[in-house]
Amino acid sequence: MQWSSFVAITLGYSMYYVCRTSLNVVKKPIMDAGFLDATQLGVISSALLFTYAVGKLINGFLADHSNIRRFMATGLLISIVANVVVGLLGLISVKGIVISQGVFYAVFAVLWGVNGWTQSMGAPPCVVALSRWYPLSRRGSFYGFWSLSHNLGEFFSFLLVGGLVSLLGWQFGFIGAAIAGVIGFLFVVLLLHDSPEAEGMPSVAVMVGEETAGQSNQHSVGVSQKEVLRNPYVWVLALASAFMYVSRYAVNGWGVLFLQEAKGFTLANATQIISINALLGIIGTVFSGWLSDVAFKGNRYIPAVAAGILEIISLLLFAFGGNAVWLNILAMVLFGIAIGILICFLGGLMAVDIVPREASGAALGVVGIASYAAAGLQDIASGLLIDTHKTLVDTVDGVEQYAYNFTPALIFWIIAASLSVLLVCVVWTKKKKA
């Protein structure tokens, strides 16, 4: 049951990601078709991220109390529907059935906001499952292994969705994402188990000797969740994660467009290069928790700071390193490894480590609301920075064609990554003095 649940949350959550990141691949085709501009796409992306941020906090607290299989499956099912409807609306618009650009924009934004809320029902039950099924001595390792679902999801999204968009049009990118979601739904429903106690066993803490039966549940979930909200280290880590998420979502959300517009790559080549960061992130993610458990005796700060510095170097290389294919691939290799490590540590594990087991979802919720609120603000800011630094170069069939200057947006992303590293150093210093 332990291994079955681990497979379910890892593969199930990777398909969650495909349903979330489908928009990142289709931005250029939508803009080229004259459907939406960069600012509108930034607003739509931020609608998902803002509702996701609030949902991450609320659903993180709810997941601690829930049957995690039903909770996770319900969120993915609604996300599937949102992707299908957006794809079908796009097809209707192309075929000339009466739907104005304004209506499409408004409906798209609302559906993507709904998608954001249901997407926030994915990670909390996964982290709760890890806390319920794995002891403290192995949590870092399996948290790292589970975190590869982020990278797998992004990789599948760029390749699957990108391939369908290239072959059939941007509308089929959303429909393909929905098909991936159905596969993830089946993994969750068939393989995920709620807890050892629900299956008639003692808690994992009692089974491995971390607690005695009398010590189990000595604090209520509600009391433990309040301790999370009062812990200043949780909030500083949440802010560090927020700045990391700015650069992470900037590259994954706007990197394809940047490579196409600023460096002249085709959609296929741009999606392949960006997908490398998701694939290589698996290396950083899988080994991060294990290394910190074994090599650093549970200390997450040393590898987290090293990964943050590597992220800054990769961003500088990506932004200002030139147009050579190998150089951009190298930048994404380094970025992927760095982000893979940071997603594991800053994205939840470091906060989960310092709170009671029964409040794991709450800790993830606090980190999540900060991270995705920042990611949402990034989408709006990046869209505006890109749009306000464009130059009209031509008009083709009534559609205006622009050249884009990405430098202001790139500087914004690099500054955010730098602030993330500084915040980790601040917490590290304070923790050592305490």
pLDDT in tens, 120-163: 999 889 988 888 888 776 767 787 788 778 778 877 887 888 88
The DSSP secondary-structure symbol of 208 reads: T
Is residue 214 in a domain? no
**Dist CA 107 CA 333 (whole Å):** 37
Is residue 407 in a domain? yes
Of 24, 21, 431, 4, the C-alpha closest to 232 is 431
Is residue 286 in a domain? yes
Indicate the number of domains in the chain. Answer: 1
The confidence score (pLDDT) of residue 208 equals 74
Residue position matching structure tokens 């954001």: 116
Please give the helix or strand (H or E) that residue 399 lies within, else none. Answer: strand 399-404
**Dist CA 341 CA 285 (whole Å):** 5
Is residue 210 in a domain? no
**Dist CA 295 CA 140 (whole Å):** 12
Strand, coil or helix: what is 4?
A: helix
The confidence score (pLDDT) of residue 213 equals 55
The confidence score (pLDDT) of residue 212 equals 55
The confidence score (pLDDT) of residue 433 equals 33
Position 233 confidence tier, pLDDT thresholds 50, 70, 90: confident
Range of the domain at 370: 2-198+220-433
The confidence score (pLDDT) of residue 380 equals 84
DSSP letters for 374-395 = HHHHHHHHHHHHHHTTEEEEEE
The confidence score (pLDDT) of residue 57 equals 82
Beta bridge partners of 399: 396
pTM: 0.71
**Which amino acid belongs to residue 254?**
W
Residue 213, number of CB atoms within 10 A of its CB? 10
pLDDT in tens, 88-113: 888 887 665 657 777 888 999 999 99
Is residue 207 in a domain? no
The confidence score (pLDDT) of residue 82 equals 95
**Dist CA 399 CA 277 (whole Å):** 33
The confidence score (pLDDT) of residue 373 equals 82
CATH at 79: 1.20.1250.20
Query: Residue 277: pLDDT above 90?
Result: no
DSSP letters for 19-84 = HHHHHHHHHHHHHHTTS--HHHHHHHHHHHHHHHHHHHHHHHHHHTTS-HHHHHHHHHHHHHHHHH
The DSSP secondary-structure symbol of 157 reads: I
- Mean pLDDT of the chain, nearest integer: 84
Is residue 213 in a domain? no
Position 243 confidence tier, pLDDT thresholds 50, 70, 90: very high
**Dist CA 71 CA 85 (whole Å):** 22
Query: Residue 191: pLDDT above 70?
Result: yes
The total number of residues written for the chain in this structure: 434
Is residue 291 in a domain? yes
Residue position matching structure tokens 């310092």: 354
Is residue 170 in a domain? yes
